[in-house]
């Protein structure tokens, strides 16, 4: 058993404090605690249910669902990835553009998953589609940056530095490989198509959101 936990960009530091990234993390935490208190009724009300969205109902859930999570590991994992890649992209885009990019990326990711499973009644939720968009932007903007990461192999733990193009590229290939596992999502599972959709959106549009005065690296 093994794993890889990205900690952040070791090649550069943001010029400005990542206010929006921090606020997004705080909103995700707040909504998660509301989920814990509201239980299944809260999830059913605010998560995106493909069959309902396809028929034009509860479109607001395309937005609300991206701030919800299925459990502690889900939210902790997502927020670690957002903190690892978000600050530099926020710095490159500026706060307002970055917020718009994040929200658009999350909606596109959710729509990608809903389009693939239009008749599903399983709630779809999670920030991973929006975070995938941030990762797509990062691999285009800073492909050569080294990402400080914790590498776990059985009981062996070490800190290593991996080029963004390798780490994020390998992550995307895993999502792409598993994107055909629609049957798993029908009974509750990882929404790989949301990851793929968000990543492609981020990689394809990130340059449009960047600040004009930014110096390309």
The pLDDT, as a whole number, for residue 217 is 45
The pLDDT, as a whole number, for residue 160 is 94
* Residue 112 clears pLDDT 70, i.e. is over it: yes
Structural domain contains residue 128: yes
Structural domain contains residue 137: yes
Structural domain contains residue 216: no
Task: Provide the domain limits for residue 15.
Answer: 2-209
Cα first-last separation, the chain: 36
pTM metric for this prediction: 0.91
Give me the chain's average pLDDT, please: 91
Q: How many CB atoms lie within 10 A of CB 181?
A: 14
CB 114 within 8 A of CB 34: no
* Residue 193 clears pLDDT 70, i.e. is over it: yes
Residue 15 maps to which CATH number? 1.20.1540.10
The pLDDT, as a whole number, for residue 153 is 84
Confidence band of 178 (pLDDT split at 50, 70, 90): confident
CB 133 within 8 A of CB 199: yes
Instruction: Average the pLDDT over 71-90 and give the result.
Output: 97
Structural domain contains residue 157: yes
- Spatial distance between the Cα atoms of 95 and 93, rounded to a whole number of angstroms: 7
The pLDDT, as a whole number, for residue 12 is 93
Most confident of 22-31, 54-63, 114-123: 22-31
The pLDDT, as a whole number, for residue 86 is 98
Structural domain contains residue 115: yes
CB 130 within 8 A of CB 195: no
- Spatial distance between the Cα atoms of 111 and 127, rounded to a whole number of angstroms: 13
CB 176 within 8 A of CB 198: no
CB 38 within 8 A of CB 106: no
Structural domain contains residue 118: yes
Q: Is residue 213 within a helix (H) or strand (E), and if so which, with residue range?
A: none
Summarised one tens digit per residue, pLDDT across range 39-55 is 999 999 999 999 999 99
Question: How many separate domains does the chain show?
Answer: 1
Structural domain contains residue 43: yes
Confidence band of 154 (pLDDT split at 50, 70, 90): confident
- Chain centroid offset of residue 69 CA: 12
């Amino acid at each position: 058993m093994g794993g890889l936990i990205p900690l952040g960009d070791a090649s550069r530091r943001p010029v400005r404090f990542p206010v929006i990234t921090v606020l997004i993390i705080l909103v995700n935490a707040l909504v998660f605690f509301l989920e814990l208190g509201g239980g299944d009724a809260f999830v059913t009300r605010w998560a995106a249910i493909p069959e309902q969205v396809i028929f034009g109902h509860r479109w607001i859930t395309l937005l609300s669902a991206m701030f919800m999570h299925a459990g502690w590991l889900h939210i902790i994992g997502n927020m670690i990835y957002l903190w690892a890649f978000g600050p530099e992209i926020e710095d490159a885009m500026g706060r307002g553009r970055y917020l718009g990019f994040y929200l658009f990326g999350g909606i596109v990711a959710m729509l990608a998953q809903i389009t693939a499973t239009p008749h599903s009644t399983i709630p779809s939720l999670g920030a991973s589609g929006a975070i995938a968009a941030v990762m797509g932007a990062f691999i285009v903007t800073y492909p050569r940056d080294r990402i400080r990461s914790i590498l776990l192999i059985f009981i062996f733990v070490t800190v290593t530095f991996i080029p963004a193009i390798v780490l994020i590229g390998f992550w995307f290939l895993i999502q792409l490989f598993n994107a055909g596992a629609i049957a798993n999502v029908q009974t509750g599972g990882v929404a790989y198509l949301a990851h793929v959709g968000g990543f492609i959106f981020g990689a394809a549009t990130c340059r449009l959101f960047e600040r004009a005065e930014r110096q390309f690296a």
